[in-house]
Amino acid sequence: MSTNAQKSDEIFEFVTFFSGGQSFSIDISQVREIRRWGPFTPVPHATVGVLGVMNLRGSVIPIYDLAARLGLASTAENPRNVIVVVIHGDQTLGLLVESVSEIMSISSNAIQTTPDMRNDAGPQAISGLINTEAGMTQIIDLDIIIRNKGSAPA
Amino acid sequence: MSTMNSIRDTFFEECEDLLAALSDGFAAMQSSTHDSETVNAVFRAVHSIKGGAGAFHLADLVSFAHRFETVLDELRASRLELTPDLMFVLLRSADHLTVLVEAARDEVEIEAAITESFLASLDACLGETDSDTKDSGENFSFSAVQLDIIGFDADDSVNHANRFTITFAPTSTLFANGHDPAFLFEALSDLGNLAVEMDLSELPEWENFDPSVPFMKWSLLLETNQDEAAIRGVFEFVDGLCALTVTALLEDAAPILEEPSASMENASLPDGEHAVKTSAPPLEEAGGPKKSAAPSDQHGPKPTLRVDLDRVDRLINAVGELIINQAMISQRVGEMALSTDSDVVNYVEDYRLLARDIQEAVMAIRAQPVKPLFQRMSRIVREAADATGKKAQMISFGEEIEVDKTVIERLADPLTHMIRNAVDHGLEDVDTRIAAGKDPSGTIRLSAAHRSGRVIISIKDDGAGLNRQKILGIAKTKGLVPQDIDLPDAEIDALLFLPGFSTASKISNLSGRGVGLDVVRTAVMALGGRVAIMSTPGLGTEFTISLPLTLAVMDGMVVSVGNQTMVAPIASILETMRPAKEELHMGPNGQYLSVRGKFVPIVDVADSLGFPTKHSENESPLLLLVENENQSQCALIVDEVHDQRQVVIKGLEHNYATVSGVSAATVLGNGQIALILDLDAIAFQRGFTAEPMTETATTAPGA
């Protein structure tokens, strides 16, 4: 996404959703479908934010609690929660979020780089910021979300 | 570009088949069960590889195959005798040909010196006079050759040389289609001696000259021992694009070529005592395959179809879904509690059987015999024996056993390693063997067999057996086991599989490259298999690899563990039991179960997976008794056992990561995912004989 963002005045579509009380977004080309909350199977020795695996038409896909992966409070169990099924590289995975809000079209030059908040040299899970009418939405870098499944969240 | 790549892929696929045919032929020749057709088949294989390689400008491969073919040609014409020494060279050369093909495929360079040494030994077979064959193939100039007139056979092919006059008048379409008469003539000259004359009589006046209309005609004169069909074969691709006549001249017609005597004698070899090799090998080799191609097609293998693996995998996936769907329907129908004679129940049962049939048929598509793999291994044995200066031969059994293609592919590396180990560490050197009263040449016995739904591959050497004192000593030195420990033999043997263990006291060329048996074990375990060692001092060591028949389905026992439904592979379960209180004993490291006088450790599955355990030590647990390949047993606590069924294996690695204690997942009848337990890891991960536990899901895929 960051490479895409370098091209100016191109229009991108983002799916935005709420998780942990904040707004996040993902490039629509990465979103495969949005599913109702369903039962999943816990995985042993899983790290924080990995809820387990579920059956997506015969494929086994892992479900990540987005808020917990980002270091926010874990998403409370609620039948209104939804799972955003995303494709990252050749992997398919589900992100548990509170709700999906909208699909918005954004010119690439409206995407701001994430300001340095901390003296953190490590990779950041947010690859960019978009100013919206309702405030701000943060573009998620899936790479960071699914990295280090065995250790603390990035 | 992609078309070229796919043609290239096809070439290398064909090379595999051809090398297998080569290997088959040599095996027959080695066991003296061959006939002339065997030698022909071997020759054809090498020739086809050479031909294909030429099309892709694989110069190294072409030149080596060419020399190899020359020797085989001599053998085919009975000018060389098949001695054990020659057989040795041929086998080595076939190995090197395989290496060259692989190198060409992977686009790596092979050191010229290695090829040179093989070429030299091939040349040695041909005798000294053939040093000038090196430049054959590049040019067709004939060098002076001594002819052994005494050995001259009146029946020689020189007297059978046929002479043909050929007239050839191309149409403009021939040129438009990209053909070039020069190449055709070149191909003709491979058949024998060719004289070419161009007929320019139709050359128009300059003002009438139309460059797009061909006006050239050729008349050619060919002396060959091939028949007319071979000549017409050369023109096969320009059929209809030219006016062609081929006329045979009578045998007694005077030679018309300008320098007939010298070149003809060169072109066909007298069948003398001294096999004299001229620089004109194309004469016979170009004709050979053409003549024999037709009959070989008739008694060739059964017709097969090359199918893109992706398509097969899509089919297999769909069948997997079908099995799951069938399980769901069965479950729902079962819940309806219909009477057993109702139509629906019967249909559902038929559906189950059908689905299973389809699944077995589809799995059979992916199944392939282990034969090519074993053939590669016999080459490894030879290479390893050469490198270590030992004598070794390989005998194989059960080559026809079929295993999933993926299993075969992924087994190649571990098997290679074990074979090298067997030669390098297993077998003694020649002197030691003689001193021990053994056959100086060691034997590696590689076998495959079916056993209770699994494939067992065994690698057995007749060497000295494991030196257990030394193994234990090394393990202690390396801090792999406590210093004061004394272990039973089986557990000492199992130490070999620990990471960082290597018995080689000197780093040899072969094994001891820092890759140990633990890598072998990891690779085999990744296939759902297990490795075991059996060793008898003085008699040898046997490694046994046990593998699932397919990677796609397995028979599982559905159990409950820590509130989760999970599947335990039936293959590893000996029995299920709920023991009486008296059979349970407390030890310092946990509970033990006494099974028929033997104490077996008890492991709580939920606990080892990090799930809440329901089991209290006061009540008698439900146990699965499991055994690994080293005959170690362990009892695993589960909460409940539900039923047995066939489950479709779904990998966790692709979308997630490897999870210790879990080998894969499956979809249950209710659509839920159930994890498939890795009983071996759970049961034997404690204690030091245990598996190196993969770090808990640290490997992020794609990271």
- Average pLDDT for B36-58: 82
The pLDDT of residue B136:
41
Model confidence at B422, pLDDT cuts 50, 70, 90, reads confident
A87-96, A110-119, B581-590 — most confident range? A87-96
More confident position, B588 or B556? B556
Interface of A with B (CB under 8 A): 39-47, 52-55, 57-62, 88-93, 143, 146-151
The pLDDT of residue A123:
59
The pLDDT of residue A26:
93
The pLDDT of residue A86:
94
Please judge whether B654 and A90 are an interchain contact, meaning their C-beta atoms are less than 8 angstroms apart: yes
Those residues with Cβ within 8 angstroms of residue B7's Cβ, 6 or more apart along the chain or in another chain: none
Q: How much of chain B exceeds pLDDT 70, in percent?
A: 80
8 A C-beta contact, residue B639 and residue B623: no
Is the pLDDT at A16 greater than 90, yes or no? Answer: yes
Nearest to B655 among A52, A91, A148 (CB): A91
Q: How much of chain A exceeds pLDDT 90, in percent?
A: 32
- Average pLDDT for B502-514: 46
Is the pLDDT at B278 greater than 80, yes or no? Answer: no
Q: How much of chain A exceeds pLDDT 70, in percent?
A: 84
CA dihedral sign of residues B310, B311, B312, B313: positive
More confident position, B675 or B170? B675
For residue A47, list chain B residues with Cβ-Cβ distance below 8 A. Answer: 697
In this structure, of B7-11, B14-18, B470-474, B695-699, the range with the lowest mean pLDDT score is B695-699
Rounded-to-integer distance, Cα A61 and Cα B72, Å = 56
**Residue B697: closest C-alpha in chain A:** A150
More confident position, B262 or B53? B53
**Residue B665: closest C-alpha in chain A:** A60
Model confidence at B233, pLDDT cuts 50, 70, 90, reads confident
pLDDT digits (tens, 9 = 90+) for B301-345: 667 787 887 888 788 878 878 887 888 888 888 888 888 788 888
Model confidence at B4, pLDDT cuts 50, 70, 90, reads low
Please judge whether B652 and A41 are an interchain contact, meaning their C-beta atoms are less than 8 angstroms apart: no
More confident position, B633 or B277? B633
Q: Position of tokens 């050979």?
A: B288
Backbone torsions φ then ψ of A107, nearest 5 degrees: -75, 140
Q: Please report, for chain A, how many H helices and E strands are present, in that order.
A: 3, 11
The pLDDT of residue A27:
92
CA dihedral of B71, B74, B80, B85, whole degrees rounded to 10: 10
Please judge whether B700 and A59 are an interchain contact, meaning their C-beta atoms are less than 8 angstroms apart: no
Rounded-to-integer distance, Cα B568 and Cα B641, Å = 10
More confident position, B262 or B471? B471
Please judge whether A44 and B610 are an interchain contact, meaning their C-beta atoms are less than 8 angstroms apart: yes
The DSSP symbol for A115 reads P
Nearest to A149 among B657, B662, B671 (CB): B657
The pLDDT of residue B156:
42
The pLDDT of residue A63:
93
Please judge whether A55 and B696 are an interchain contact, meaning their C-beta atoms are less than 8 angstroms apart: no
Is the pLDDT at B290 greater than 60, yes or no? Answer: no
Nearest to A150 among B667, B695, B702 (CB): B695
In this structure, of B84-98, B302-316, B686-700, the range with the lowest mean pLDDT score is B686-700
The answer to whether residue B320 neighbours chain A at the CB level (below 8 Å) is yes
pLDDT digits (tens, 9 = 90+) for B350-395: 998 898 888 888 878 888 888 888 988 888 888 888 888 888 888 9
CA dihedral of B112, B118, B123, B126, whole degrees rounded to 10: -160
Rounded-to-integer distance, Cα A57 and Cα B320, Å = 11
Two tokens at A109? 């030059």
Whether the model clears a pTM of 0.80, i.e. scores above it, the answer is no
More confident position, B192 or B665? B665
8 A C-beta contact, residue B656 and residue A62: yes
| Mutate which: B310, B655, B662, B695, vs A, most A CBs within 10 A | B655
Nearest to B665 among A46, A60, A92 (CB): A60
Backbone torsions φ then ψ of B531, nearest 5 degrees: -120, 140
Is the pLDDT at B552 greater than 60, yes or no? Answer: yes
Is the pLDDT at A31 greater than 90, yes or no? Answer: yes
The answer to whether residue B318 neighbours chain A at the CB level (below 8 Å) is no
- Average pLDDT for B642-660: 82
Q: Which of residues 664-693 of B touch A (CB under 8 A)?
A: 665, 667, 671-675
pLDDT digits (tens, 9 = 90+) for B560-600: 998 889 999 887 788 999 888 888 888 777 788 888 888 88
Q: Which of residues 639-658 of B touch A (CB under 8 A)?
A: 650-652, 654-657
The pLDDT of residue B150:
46
For residue A146, list chain B residues with Cβ-Cβ distance below 8 A. Answer: 700
In this structure, of A109-113, B194-198, B241-245, B501-505, the range with the lowest mean pLDDT score is B501-505
Please judge whether A147 and B700 are an interchain contact, meaning their C-beta atoms are less than 8 angstroms apart: yes
More confident position, B665 or B506? B665
The pLDDT of residue B566:
93
- Average pLDDT for B104-115: 80
Buried b (16+ CB within 10 A) or exposed e, B643-682: eebbbbbbebeebbbbbbbbbbbbbbbebbbbbbbbbbbb
Rounded-to-integer distance, Cα B416 and Cα B672, Å = 40
Buried b (16+ CB within 10 A) or exposed e, B66-104: bbbbbbbbbbbeebbeeeeebeebbbbbbbbbbbbbebb
Q: Looking at CA atoms only, how far is residue B397 from chain A in angstroms?
A: 39
Q: What is the DSSP code string of B28-57?
A: HHHTT---HHHHHHHHHHHHHHHHHHHHTT
The pLDDT of residue A132:
84
Output the average pLDDT for chain B.
Answer: 76
Please judge whether B671 and A55 are an interchain contact, meaning their C-beta atoms are less than 8 angstroms apart: yes
Residue B485: CB atoms within 10 A of its CB come to 11
The pLDDT of residue B573:
87
Is the pLDDT at B130 greater than 80, yes or no? Answer: no
The pLDDT of residue B460:
92
Please judge whether B661 and A60 are an interchain contact, meaning their C-beta atoms are less than 8 angstroms apart: no
The pLDDT of residue B161:
65
More confident position, A81 or B165? A81
Q: Looking at CA atoms only, how far is residue B614 from chain A in angstroms?
A: 16
Model confidence at B446, pLDDT cuts 50, 70, 90, reads very high
Rounded-to-integer distance, Cα B471 and Cα B477, Å = 10
For residue B609, list chain A residues with Cβ-Cβ distance below 8 A. Answer: 44-45
The pLDDT of residue B502:
62
